[in-house]
Amino acid sequence: MELRQLECFVAVAEELHFGRAAARLRMTQPPLSRQVQMLERSLGVSLFERSSRVVALTAAGRSFLRDARHLLEFSARAAMQAQRTATGAAGHVTLGFTAVAAYRLMPAIVTQARRELPDVDIQLREMVSIDLGRHLVAGELDVVLARHLPRPEGLGHRLLEREPLVLAAPRGWPLARLKSVPLQALNGQPFIAYSPNEGKYFHERINAALAQAGVRPDVVQHASQTHTLLALVRAGLGMGIVPASARELRLDGLHFTALADCALRADMYLAWRTPQDNPAVRALLDCVARMPAASQSTSVS
């Protein structure tokens, strides 16, 4: 049983006339009749009652018509899905991201992808940056949003965002009232720092800036994630330096202030394996490339 035979059968069944069915299929009547006869032989039943003036479906023909239509519809959908998958319009992408990326950048990318690529399934997996790179290289993730990237060959990357770091302080603290705060003002002040292990990226970047400025805050606690650090700041344990996108958490009792005379920035990269054999990944990368460029500075008021 072949799809062409099903197409011929359905056309005759719907027209109940071999001549009209042949015209509909843009073929002559003899080959159409042969296709139907071959189908009947393969099934071992008569699908039509034929006479010189009338063509009618048999009981077997009426039963078979429903399933034949379903088979043709399923075949058409399968072909269309294969074509869409080949172009990246459909498929599956596993996107890894850091917790900070979830504040603004990751939702923006997923929203844009849902708009442009509604048939691409995006699975989200949150990890720390170091683990993201390892899982990307191992093939367990397709694309990652990460602060830190491994450097092996076979990875492509694009810098998406370079956001400033800002000072987070409990609302009402003296430094929170300033329009901008110099790093020197943090000397000896109670300070919540990122963990040197789980928060390695921010820990190293912030510590290097403080050391260069000759500033030694009083580190009272370490935190691995930005939301945990902010919760400790809000509790009044001390101040902390965080990416400006942390404002998106909208936690009450906090004030974010720009750092004066300090060019502390946090980079966010989009990374993927190369060469890339998943068309959906290539489509997602093109989708991200069409997004408005991330601002190089973020308001902290």
For residue 295, name the pLDDT band (cuts at 50, 70, 90).
very low
Domains in the chain: boundaries: 3-87, 93-160+270-289, 161-265
User: Following DSSP, what letter does each residue of 93-139 receive, concatenated?
Assistant: EEEEE-TGGGGTHHHHHHHHHHHH-TEEEEEEEE--HHHHHHHHHTT
| Window from 66-80, 190-204, 205-219 with minimum mean pLDDT | 66-80
Q: Amino acid identity of 240?
A: G
pLDDT at residue 152 in the model: 65
pLDDT at residue 299 in the model: 34
Q: Evaluate if residue 129 carries a pLDDT over 90.
A: no
Could you tell me the two tokens for 5?
């035979």
pLDDT at residue 289 in the model: 92
**pLDDT, average across residues 115-138:** 89
Q: Which of 273, 11, 236 is nearest to 144 (CA)?
A: 273
Q: Is 298:244 a contact under the CB 8 Å cutoff?
A: yes
Q: Does domain 3-87 have CATH number 3.20.20.60?
A: no
The pTM assigned to this predicted structure is: 0.66
Q: Do domains 3-87 and 161-265 have the same CATH topology?
A: no
Q: Evaluate if residue 11 carries a pLDDT over 90.
A: yes
Could you tell me the two tokens for 72?
């043709």
10 Å CB burial of residue 66 (0-12, 13-18, 19+) is: exposed
CATH number of 93-160+270-289: 3.40.190.10
Question: Which residues, including other chains, have CB under 8 Å from residue 116's CB and lie 6 or more apart?
Answer: 287, 290
Q: Which fold has domain 161-265?
A: D-Maltodextrin-Binding Protein; domain 2 (3.40.190)
Q: Is 285:143 a contact under the CB 8 Å cutoff?
A: yes
For residue 292, name the pLDDT band (cuts at 50, 70, 90).
confident
For residue 209, name the pLDDT band (cuts at 50, 70, 90).
very high
Q: Amino acid identity of 172?
A: G
Q: Amino acid identity of 177?
A: R
Alpha-carbon distance values, 286 to 85, 129, 201, 269, 280 (Å): 15, 23, 28, 15, 10
